[in-house]
Amino acid sequence: MSESKQTRRDVIDAELQRTKAELVIAKHREAKLRNQIKGLTEKERRHRNIVWGSHFEYLLREKLNVSKEQLATFDDDRVKNILNALFSDLSFQRIMQNVLAEKAKK
């Protein structure tokens, strides 16, 4: 092989190695960004759950006159039963469908 071809091959090999290294770095950055996105969406979900839960508690206290002491006796199963009963109600289901349909229009 001539010296010129060998030099060209060395340049190509060096470029290949550099490109492979850049690819590894880019994949690492992509994974890091995906993890950041996942963390943000989990943080947003936790925040939403806290806000919705506190509003549910507010509605129980203010609209149904449930005392703090009564709320303290609620466990997860009792809250699930309340929500299941609410979502089983046909008029509530219609209201929710209308709310979701309005959101979809906007």
Name the band, by pLDDT with cuts 50, 70 and 90, for residue 106. Answer: confident
Total-model pTM: 0.57
For residue 34, pLDDT over 70 is answered with yes
Half-sphere exposure of 63 (CA within 13 A, CB side): 6
65 φψ region: left (φ > 0), alpha (ψ -120 to 50), beta (else) = left
Residue 1 has pLDDT above 70, yes or no: no
pLDDT band at 51 (very low <50, low <70, confident <90, very high): very high
Q: Poorest-confidence range of 3-12, 21-30, 40-49, 92-101? A: 3-12
The DSSP code for 24 is H
CA atoms within 13 A on the CB side of 60: 19
Residue 62: half-sphere exposure toward Cβ, Cα within 13 Å: 6
